[in-house]
Amino acid sequence: MTVRVRFAPSPTGYLHIGSARSALFTWMYARRFDGVFILRIEDTDTKRTREGAIEDFKRSFRWLGIDWDEGPDVGGPYGPYIQTERAELYQKWANWLVEQGYAYRCYCTAEELAERRKAPKGGKETASGYDRRCRFLTPAEKKEREENGLDFAIRFKMPIEGSTTVPDLLRGDIVFENSQVSDYVLLKSNGLPTYHLAHPVDDHFMEISHVTRGVEWISTAPLHVNIFKAFGWQLPIYVHLPLILSPSGKGKLSKRTQAFDDAGHQVLVRVEEFPEAGYLPQALVNFLANVGWSFGDDREKFTIEEAIARFDLADINPAETRLPYEKLDWLNGLYIQDMSPEELAQALKPYLETVGYEVSLEKLVFLTPALSVRLKRLPDAVPMLRFLYVDEPLKLEVAELTDKKLQLPAARQAFAEAKAFVTSVEPYDLDHVSQGLVDIGERHTTNGKAGPFLGRMRLAVTGQKVSPPLYESMLAMGRDRVQRRLGEALAILNKPE
C-alpha cells in the first residue's frame, strides 16, 4: 500500500507544539515508507480564519525541517489543497447523500439549536447534541419549509440502532452504540462543509492511507465510519494521536496555560516561540520525537534521519503526556555543543545585538568554545558576555575578592602583582597569561594552589558571578580594560576598613 498521509491544520491560529508533534510523526511515517506527505488547509470556518496563518504554519514547518510533497503552493495531482476551493465537491457529495437517503435537510436555525441545548443533557437514551427532529418531518411539513425558502443545513442520518466499530491503530477496535452519536451537520447552511464531511471526502479523494489526528476525534469517529460506509468508500487507517497535557496535567496544553512549570521552565506552546527563545530546530525535533515514541535502544539524542529509519506509527504510546521542558533544555545544550565556533557565534550575534551590544564576530568566535558548554539556550550567552560589552565600574565587596585561602594582605599583594603582570606580559596570549597568573596564585594562597586566587580574579575582571573562563575572557577584553579592572579591584581591597 502506498503511504499517503496528511497534516490538515485550520488556519485560525499558530502551529501548536502538540500539532507539530502530530505533524512530525505523520511526516516521519511518510519518509520512512517512501510515502507522500500532504499539507491541506482546513479553512471551512471562514469566521475564524486568520489572515497570515497559513504563512505562519509554513514558516514553522520550514524551520522544523518538515517538508511537504503536495499542498497549497507545491500543488499536486489531488488539489486543490485548500478546502474553501473545494466547496462544490462537498456540495455534490452532500446532495448525493440526501438523494440516496443517507442525509437530510435540517431547517433549524443556529439560535433554535443553541436554545434547545441549554436544556439539561439527556440520559442514556438520547443522542447527544441534536434531537433529530427534522429527520422525521412529515412531507407536508417539509414542503411548507421549502416553500417558505427556509435556510437549511444537511445532516447525516446516523443509524439509530446497533453499534459501530472504529478500528484504531493504537487502541484496537473501539465500539460505540449508534444511539450515542448525533445526526451531525455535514454541510452548513452557507454551503461549506463541516469537518465531518470534508474529512471523508478529502481523505477519500486524496487517497489518504492513514488518518492521523488528535484523540478529540475519537468520539465522532463512528460518524465518520458510517459516512464512509454510506459512500461505499474504503476506510482509511485511523491513528488517534495522544494529546499533550499542560505541565500540571490539568487539561490540555494551550496558549492559555501557565507561563512557567513548577521547575520554573518557560512553557512554550507555539512553535514560532521556540526559535526566539533560543532553541535549535534539531533539538526540538529530537525532543518531540522522543515524547510518545522512543528510539528503542535507550538513546535519547539522535538525528531525525536515524529516527525515521526506525519510526512506525504503530509504536506510538497511546497515553496522553506532558512535555518535559527541562529535558528540552538539556538536549538543546547538547546540540549547541555540536555547533562549530563560527556557527555558534553567528547564532549568538542576533541575541546580543537585540540588547544593544556591538558585536565583533571575531571576538565572539574566540570566546565561543569556552562558552558553548554552559549554554542551554542561545540567549543564555547574553548575561554571560555582559562584561565584554558593558563597561561599568566594578561593584564588589572586599569579601568577594578574598577567600579563606587568600586573606586580605595576600589578596592585595596578589592583585597588585597581577596588575603589573598584565601590563608587562609579552605576548599577551593564552599560554603566557595563564602561566603567569597561576604562578602568582600559587605563591599567595595558603594552600599553594592557584584556584582560590583565580576565582577572585574572574570576579574582578568580569564583575560577574557567571562568565566564560578567565583567560579567554581576559584576552577578549583586551589588556587595557583588564588593567583598569584590576586597578578598581585593588582600590576596593585597599579601602580602609
Partner RNA sequence: GCCCCCAUCGUCUAGGGGACUAGGACGCCAGCCUUUCAAGCUGGAAACCGGAGUUCGAAUCUCCGUGGGGGCACCA
Residues 28, 7: Cα–Cα separation, whole Å: 12
Min. distance of Cβ 30 from RNA in angstroms? 20
Min. distance of Cβ 424 from RNA in angstroms? 21
What are the grid coordinates assigned to 396, written together? 564588589
Q: Which residues contact 159 (CB under 8 A, 6 or more apart)?
A: 178, 226
Q: What angle do CA 345, 351, 353 make, to 5 degrees?
A: 95
Strand-pairing partners, residue 217, are: none
Min. distance of Cβ 101 from RNA in angstroms? 20
Local structure of 355: helix, strand or coil: coil
CB 235 within 8 A of CB 228: yes
* CA end-to-end distance (rounded Å), the chain: 84
Min. distance of Cβ 402 from RNA in angstroms? 14
Residue 102 or 238 having the CB closest to RNA: 238
CA dihedral angle for residue 342, residue 344, residue 347, residue 348, rounded to 10 degrees: -110
Identify the residue whose cell numbers are 485548500: 82
Residue 70 or 202 having the CB closest to RNA: 202
Residue 124: phi and psi, rounded to 5, are: -65, -30
Q: Which amino acid is at 420?
A: A
118, 121, 229, 255: which is the annotated catalytic residue?
A: 255
Q: Which residues contact 442 (CB under 8 A, 6 or more apart)?
A: 448, 449, 450
Residue 189 or 346 having the CB closest to RNA: 189
Q: Which amino acid is at 435?
A: Q
Residue 60 or 290 having the CB closest to RNA: 290
3-class secondary structure per residue, 112-161: HHHHHHCCCCCCCCCCCCCCCHHHHCCHHHHHHHHHCCCCCEEEECCCCC
Residue 1 or 15 having the CB closest to RNA: 15
Residue 67 or 315 having the CB closest to RNA: 315
Nearest Cα to Cα of residue 300 among 308, 291, 311, 313: 291
Residues 458, 465: Cα–Cα separation, whole Å: 8
Min. distance of Cβ 187 from RNA in angstroms? 8
Residue 285 or 291 having the CB closest to RNA: 291
Min. distance of Cβ 496 from RNA in angstroms? 28
Residue 191 or 494 having the CB closest to RNA: 191
CA distances (Å), origin 429, targets 260, 422, 436, 453: 44, 10, 11, 19
How many Å separate Cα 48 from the centre of its chain? 22
Min. distance of Cβ 246 from RNA in angstroms? 8
Local structure of 103: helix, strand or coil: strand
Residues 395, 489: Cα–Cα separation, whole Å: 9
CB 281 within 8 A of CB 272: no
Min. distance of Cβ 61 from RNA in angstroms? 17
Min. distance of Cβ 155 from RNA in angstroms? 8
Residues 493, 497: Cα–Cα separation, whole Å: 9
Residues 440, 414: Cα–Cα separation, whole Å: 6
Residue 113 or 408 having the CB closest to RNA: 113
How many Å separate Cα 431 from the centre of its chain? 44
Report the DSSP pairing between strands 172-177 and 210-214: unpaired
Report the DSSP pairing between strands 244-245 and 321-322: parallel
Residue 33 or 176 having the CB closest to RNA: 176
Is 255 one of the catalytic residues?
yes
Min. distance of Cβ 26 from RNA in angstroms? 15
What are the grid coordinates assigned to 323, written together? 512535555
CA distances (Å), origin 157, targets 46, 122, 370: 26, 19, 68
**Catalytic machinery residues:** 255
